[in-house]
Structures are given as structure tokens and as C-alpha cells.
Amino acid sequence: MSGTPRIRSRSPVAGLERARLSFVQVLGQSVSAVAPSAVMVTLPALVIPDAGRATLAVFAAAAILMTAVGYCVGQFATRMVAVSGLYSYIVKGLGAVPGFAGGWSLLVGYAAAAMASTLGAASYLAALLGRVGLPTGSTLIAVLAAIVGLLALLLMIRGVKLSARIMLAIEVFAIVAASAALVVAFVQSVREGATASAGGAKSGSAVGFAVLLAITSFVGFESAGTVAREARNPFVTVPRAIRWTPIALGVLYVFAAALQLPEPVREGVDSLPIVLTLPDTSGAGSSALSVVMELGITASWFACVLGSTTALSRTLFAMGREGVVPTVFGRTHHRFHTPHVALAAAMPVIVAVPVVYLFVSGSSRDVLIGLLAVSAHGYVLAYVLLCVATPAFLRRIGELTRLPLVIGALAATAMVALVGWAAFSRTYVAGAATAVYVLLMLLGAAVFAIRARRSPGIGERMGVYDEAVADDLLGRYRPWEVRR
């Protein structure tokens, strides 16, 4: 009968496993994509020179803004089980073209974050090997980056549950190690008479740049949405993970920034590997604690490779199912039920780009900062589009209320204003990172134009999500059922 809703016999995202991840494992996906232990050590040291004593307020403001973005993401996550996260959300809110722009921008963000994390893990591994006398250099980092990439690829193809468990265990260890090292360095500096020596902010625009920089320490927290189909009770676990991650990260970052306000604690953080140099007066255990912290940060970078590439592969998988990119990316492994083609295609690029960049520039620090800058561009545009899409989507389905309208509008306006505010800072020199990002977005526009020309109805297929199928009506799994 015309107009009668039909129940599909197969979900658009069939092939990925269902209901495999607990809430804690979903939370591990969000946290690992951020690499919080590495951020705890590095970001406050980069923010303090611009923000001074306002550093704590800067991180608190960034946490509030990201919590608002998380609220907007939650409006979709409580209504859709979308394996590509923000990409499908923006399509449903704003349509195909803005949705593709947001999805492609996220791909750039996830890929650049994974590249930076691969280089970070390899660099810290090289530093650890240097402690036992192995000569360090670009060649060793390149070899270690290839090993990191291969190991991550095998884990992710083997299964999302295994990689989620490893990511969570790694992050807990890394956060504890980084926190212990920060506390030791702070206590020692206080014993030696140091006080919170950070002065005032350089200028108002410098504070704007500092807030923008602090926001980059949260990006990736929304990636829990990319494992929604693989999560148990996704309408509860995914929104809960996205809602609580920026709050927990904000507490960690304010804690880490407070401990780094004394200048002696920040000594030695202006190079890569960025490692706190614990004073010799800390005792015989200072070297051991430094090694433990380096191991923790290495592990955290590795977890970030897993988290960012997992999100990247799910977004590519969804685009492949829709035909936005070659359909081969939409295949899943017949045994492990993971998007193995997308993973296998992405990982060589994730390893090769930072290695080539390293040999060209000769500075691992420059490579890391450059890749993180490109990544930040990708995330910020997607977040702005997502906040605009939220009230549009809710209005379309007849569920718009005042709160998501106000929060979505304020968060989008604040992020756009923040970029403009930071642009007046002499510190803010986007330069090459912005140029690279624009070129990658133009490449994405070309891909979309070619695919749309070959398949005129492609816009109607975009924004796929997991749907209840005929077997679900009689089976034991109820994807629409909410169990708290």
C-alpha cells in the first residue's frame, strides 16, 4: 500500500557487531580519542604563557563550551544509532551538502589526530629506547611509527571489544602516571620556595587564543557516537559518555594546570618529547617516576591512535554504504565484524604522512604541532555545524524546545566569535595549517561533486543509521528499548 511504512529486512549498517560494548568501554572510546594524560602535561604549559593566572578560568570556560556541544550531540544520540556520529547528525539537521562538509571536516580531524598520535607514540618510544643507549633519530622514529601503526591496525581489525578494553586500561594507567609525576614536581617546587609565578595575561586577544587552544584539548570526546551500534543500550550509554567526558576532562585539566603554575614545574616542556624534568632533589625515585610517566604518555598516544582511527573508519564505513565514497569502504570483516577495508586503507596514510613530514622538516615537534593544528580546524567546523543542526533537526521532527535552541545558538556563536577573537592575537598564526585544511576541504568538495554527478540521488541516501529490522520485532534484541 502506498505510504505505508516498511520494515527493512537488513539494517543500512549491518555487518558491524551489535550490543558488544558496555558503558565503560564506550566511555573509553571517547576518552582515548582525546589522549588526556598527554594533554595534561603539554597543554597547560602552552596556555600559561598567554593566559597567565587566568589559565584555570580558560580551561573551565573551554570545558563549559564543550559541555554545551556535548548537550547538542546528546539530542541526536538519544534518537539515532548513527555509526558515523556527527556526520549523520549534521546531515539529518542541515541536509546533504552541509552534512558532507561536516563529515569530511571530521575525517580531516580524526586523520590528523591519528597521525599526530602515531608520531607522538613513536617519539616517546624512541626517547625511552634512548635511555638504554639506543641511538635516536628520525629513522628510528619512522620504524617505530610503522610498528605502532601495524599493531593498532591488527587490534582494531581483531575486534572493537578488544581494542576498547585496551584503550581503557591504557588511559587509566597513563592518567595515574601523569598525575603522580605532576604532583611530585609541584610538591618539590613548593619545598624549594617556588610559588604560582605565572603573571597576568598578555592581552585580551591572547586569552581568546588561549581558550581556543584549550578547546583543542577536548576534541574527540564526541567519538563515542561512532560506536553506537556496537554499544549495549546505545540510547543511554552513548549520550551519557558524551555528556560526562568533557566534565571529567575539565576537572583533570584544571587540576593539571594548577600544578603547573609554578615556573620550575614547566621547565623542559618546550621540546618533544615533552616531558616534565623532575629535579634531582626529588630523590632516587625521580628517574623511575619520569620513566613511568613517559611510558604512560606513550601509552596514551597509542590509545589516541586507536580511538581516532576507530572513529575515522566508522565514518568512512558509513560513507561507503551510502556511496559517497567508493562502496568498498562499506564492507566489514566476515569474522570480526569490523570495517577492515576502511581501516586497512586509512592506516598506511596515517603512518606515511607524519613520517614523510618528519624527514622534510627534521623536527618532530613542528610535525606534531602542525598536525594538531590541522586537526583542530576539522573538529571546530564540525562542532559549529552540529550546534546549528541541533535546533533545525528538532524542529523538523516536531520536538524543538527552548533549551536546545538557546544552547545550540549560544555554543555556535561562541565558537565563531572565539575564532575571530583569537585572530587578533599576535600568537595566533594559523598559516600553513589553515592552507592545508582548506586544500583538503576543496578535495572533499571535488569528491562529493564527482560522486553526486555519477549518482544523482546520493543526497537522499546520506545520513545512514542503525534501524530496527524485521527480525528485531521477533528477536530478543530491542534497539529502540531504553534500559537505564
Residue-wise pLDDT for 263-296, tens only, equals 665 554 444 444 444 445 555 556 677 777 778 8
Confidence band of 195 (pLDDT split at 50, 70, 90): low
Cβ atoms of 92 and 394 closer than 8 Å: no
Neighbours of 241 (CB within 10 A): 29
Q: Return the pLDDT at 226.
A: 87
Provide, for the chain, the percentages of residues in helix, strand and coil under a 3-state DSSP scheme, each rounded to the nearest 5: 75, 0, 25
Q: Return the pLDDT at 199.
A: 65
CA distance 87 to 82: 9
Cβ atoms of 466 and 83 closer than 8 Å: yes
Q: Return the pLDDT at 465.
A: 87
Report the DSSP beta bridge partners of residue 91: none
Three-state secondary structure of 304-371:
HHHHHHHHHHHHHHHHHHHCCCCHHHHCCCCCCCCCHHHHHHHHHHHHHHHHHHHHHHCCHHHHHHHH
- Least confident residue range of 160-169, 203-212, 251-260, 424-433: 424-433
Confidence band of 4 (pLDDT split at 50, 70, 90): low
Q: Return the pLDDT at 456.
A: 82
Residue-wise pLDDT for 72-114, tens only, equals 999 999 999 988 889 999 999 999 999 999 999 999 999 999 9
Confidence band of 1 (pLDDT split at 50, 70, 90): very low
| Average pLDDT value for the chain | 84
Confidence band of 478 (pLDDT split at 50, 70, 90): low
Residue-wise pLDDT for 112-148, tens only, equals 999 999 998 998 888 888 877 777 788 999 999 999 9
Q: Return the pLDDT at 112.
A: 93
